[in-house]
Amino acid sequence: MKKYLALAIVVTVLVLMIKPLSFLTKYYLHECPEKSSVKQDDFEMYLEPLDLEKYKQDIFSFDKVFDISVAETLAYREQDFEIYQIDKNGDGQNMLIFAATHGSEFASALVVSDLLNEIAKNPELYEAWNIRILTPINPVGVKHQSRYNEDGCDINRDFQHFLTKGAKLQRQTIDEFNPDVIVSLHEGPQDGFFVIAENSVPPDLQKAIATDLQSVNVALARKSFFGIPLSDSGIWHKKPFVYFVQKLFGIHTLGRYANERGIPMFTTESNWKVRDVNERKKPHLLLIKSVVESYN
């Protein structure tokens, strides 16, 4: 009887582990889990279609204030998709911002126009900064509301082999622009907004960001998207153990790539379940402003 009970327990555990293990494999252990830019449906997400032509018009409406160009053109299903480079010139430090690496995280693309408007209205705050923005890193994914690019690849898992044009462009831009800080805009399933601070971010800056986030009226996550409690609400202070796990399982993200090169990097994560898109965009702007003020 005990033998059958033990067998039943083992079978139950294995069955319960099937879904978490499949998620782990798909989202972390496989660079290209799909064959094309398929719509993400594994999580509860609030999605709105993003008109790429209107998006382009919104971006280029700031061309009298910023230097704006097409950094890359991708051909997919007889249609061209563009990635834009936006430069704001200053006298001091370099901030590099990547938006919409995952196309289904559409608010991370929309926040760029808000950021350009913020910089244009408050030039004195940003005057010492050279800021370069690349958006959307995954335009095909944006069009198809997909996490993946045109080849079914997750660009943010491609920082070893650089199979995707998105990862190649990010690497090239990092080499050319020599950023003092990187901000990568994302969204996730956690309740509330939080920021991943790579280990290369100075402790004083991590503390300042945590304090700033807690002082504003934004719903902050108390746990990461893994369900791990955060020591400071709204910020995940990434520890060396996480990099050990990434190395052990061969997970090659932009964050790991930046950290290995000693480049401070923040990854912003708004809650993709929220239906108020402005609410999702707002905390990304607050993080960027906080970084600027902390460095100033």
Q: If you average pLDDT over every residue of the chain, what do you get?
A: 91
**What is the per-residue pLDDT across 118-145, written as a single tens digit (0 to 9) for each?**
999 999 999 999 999 999 999 999 999 9
7 within domain boundaries: no
1 within domain boundaries: no
Report pTM: 0.93
Residue 278 has pLDDT above 80, yes or no: yes
CATH number assigned to the domain comprising residue 194: 3.40.630.10
Contact partners, residue 241, CB within 8 Å, separation at least 6: none
Rounded CA-CA distance 95/127 in Å is 12
Q: Which of 13, 137, 117 is CA-nearest to residue 58?
A: 117
Amino acid in position 178: N
2 within domain boundaries: no
Total number of domains in the chain:
1
**What is the per-residue pLDDT across 42-71, written as a single tens digit (0 to 9) for each?**
888 999 999 999 999 999 999 999 999 999
Contact between 86 and 112 (Cβ < 8 Å): yes
**What is the per-residue pLDDT across 193-206, written as a single tens digit (0 to 9) for each?**
999 999 999 999 99
26 within domain boundaries: no
Residue 19 has pLDDT above 60, yes or no: no
118 within domain boundaries: yes
154 within domain boundaries: yes
Contact between 248 and 254 (Cβ < 8 Å): no
8 within domain boundaries: no
φ and ψ of 47, to 5 deg = -115, 145
Contact between 193 and 270 (Cβ < 8 Å): yes
Rounded CA-CA distance 40/142 in Å is 11
Rounded CA-CA distance 79/140 in Å is 10
Q: What is the pLDDT of residue 41?
A: 79
Domain around 261? 31-295
Q: Which two tokens stand for residue 42?
A: 């594994």
In percent, the amount of the chain with pLDDT more than 70 equals 92
Range in 101-115, 225-239, 271-285 the model is least confident about: 225-239
